[in-house]
A = this chain, B = another copy of it.
Amino acid sequence: MSDSDGIRFLEGGTVTSPRGFVAGATYAGIKTYAEDKLDLGLLMSQYPCSVAAVFTTNRLKSASVILCRERVAKGRVRALVVNSGIANTCVGEQGYKDAQETTALAAKHLDLDPEEVAICSTGVIGVELPMALIRAGIPKIELSPRGGHDLARAILTTDTRPKEAAVSFRQGSRTVNIGGIVKGAGMIHPNMATMLSFITTDAEMEQGLLQRALKEAVDQSFNMVSVDGDTSPNDTVLLFANGAAGAGPIMAGTPEYSKFLEALTALTVHLAKEIARDGEGAHRLLEVVVEGAVTLEEARMAARTIVSSNLVKAAVYGADPNWGRVVTALGRSGAEMDADRIDLYINDVCILYQGTPIPFHKDAVVAIMRGPQVSFRVCLNLGQARATAWGCDLSEDYVTINSAYTT
């Protein structure tokens, strides 16, 4: 539990921590390879709500993403059905039909209209959803206000642990909550990682503003994470706001909106770092801060390029203070830079000052880099913009996990 500006992380917090949300999951038999036998889940707001969403930018899109986007655009969504194990991607026309039927089955079970149900899938590409299993599975799901923990497990693929959190803050005399779960960039045999995150809040906000808040928070959190540079066709973040806190609507340009955005960003940054920490084969969290950039866009580009570099990631794995790789990645990022003005710090030890290497105690830096987190801070000393990105080291385990061909 931490406290900053009255924003508090809740112990045991999850996607059903905000009032008026229920969830549940079952094992339908889709995710045969995983130890955790939950693979099909439901999330529902007990009241009508606003929904905001951010989807993959990959031009290849899961049929589930295509239907989900249509439903969110119509503005009536208040529930979600999600499966892990199969991505519902690259399966021709059948994919969209299966997505429709799955939401219809969920709607029937939840006593909703199909238009009120969104859908997400993650898993193997090029395999059709096993509809017989889904038809049998959905009616078995029991939803409860404590069901968020099961849902957090049901969306995992090669993640090693569930990732969930919730924050709360005061709005007038009421406590408002935001809760979320996420699955990370684990790889699914024989295919690919997907980032899914589902976030709920009992704050009240109209859909346009909610979308703006989500976009802003995602740009500072999930969009600043890289495990291996590959974007899935299934990436989806959904944010549901049902107003059940009874604190009244949050309007644009108010202190209440700023507070909500701050809390939402704190939550998504927390979940984003959890993804990076649980990256495949990862041994430590890598944080890259770029300061003094000319524009925010350039600061983000530079931080993302450094955190994504195989060479930087391999050096972090080896606890090697190989700063030449950091400035080289910076140099190809496209951000404006002057090589003679750069300062570079590794976990607060200054390595490069005004572009010239300064003698540092190598063994001490190596020892620091063997810890659970390595931070690079680059000061470009050109402007005021600042951005942070998160990733993980590149280990032999990553290669082993992703190259093992199992028949």
Residues of A at under 8 Å CB distance from B? Answer: 57-61, 87, 89-92, 124-126, 187, 190-192, 228-233, 309-311, 314-315, 317-320, 322-325, 327-332, 335-337, 339-340, 352, 355-357, 362-363, 366, 393-396, 398-400, 402-405, 407
The answer, among B60, B331, B395, for a CB contact under 8 Å with A60, is B331
In the complex, are the beta carbons of B229 and A322 less than 8 A apart? no
A352 to B92, CA, bound (A): 11
4 more A-B residue pairs beyond the given contacts A126-B357, A228-B311, with a C-beta to C-beta distance below 8 A: A59-B337, A90-B324, A92-B340, A191-B324
A325 to B402, CA, bound (A): 11
Smallest CB–CB gap between A125 and chain B, Å? 3
A315 to B315, CA, bound (A): 23
Smallest CB–CB gap between A214 and chain B, Å? 21
Q: A319 to chain B: which residues have CB within 8 Å?
A: 405
Closest to A362 in B: B407
From known contacts A323-B126, A324-B90, infer whether A403 and B314 are also in contact, taking CB-CB under 8 Å: yes
A336 to B356, CA, bound (A): 43
Smallest CB–CB gap between A261 and chain B, Å? 28
In the complex, are the beta carbons of B311 and A402 less than 8 A apart? yes
From known contacts A190-B322, A191-B322, A324-B90, infer whether A332 and B231 are also in contact, taking CB-CB under 8 Å: yes
A327 to B58, CA, bound (A): 10
Q: A59 to chain B: which residues have CB within 8 Å?
A: 330-332, 335-337, 339
> Which of A58, A319, A362, A402 is the most central at the interface, judged by chain B CB atoms within 10 Å of its CB?
A402
Q: A310 to chain B: which residues have CB within 8 Å?
A: 228-230, 310, 398, 402
> What are 20 of the A-B contact pairs (CB < 8 Å)?
A58-B328, A60-B331, A87-B324, A90-B327, A90-B356, A92-B355, A126-B324, A191-B324, A191-B328, A192-B311, A229-B309, A230-B311, A310-B398, A315-B402, A317-B399, A317-B403, A318-B403, A366-B405, A393-B403, A395-B399
A318 to B87, CA, bound (A): 22
Smallest CB–CB gap between A97 and chain B, Å? 14
Closest to A234 in B: B328
A125 to B321, CA, bound (A): 12
Smallest CB–CB gap between A374 and chain B, Å? 12
In the complex, are the beta carbons of A190 and B320 less than 8 A apart? yes
Q: A362 to chain B: which residues have CB within 8 Å?
A: 407
Closest to A281 in B: B399
In the complex, are the beta carbons of B230 and A332 less than 8 A apart? yes
The answer, among B90, B317, B322, for a CB contact under 8 Å with A355, is B90
The answer, among B58, B92, B311, B339, for a CB contact under 8 Å with A356, is B92
Closest to A394 in B: B399
Q: A403 to chain B: which residues have CB within 8 Å?
A: 314-315, 317-318, 320, 393-395
Q: A314 to chain B: which residues have CB within 8 Å?
A: 398-399, 402-403
Q: A90 to chain B: which residues have CB within 8 Å?
A: 324, 327, 339, 352, 355-357
Smallest CB–CB gap between A113 and chain B, Å? 29
In the complex, are the beta carbons of A124 and B396 less than 8 A apart? no
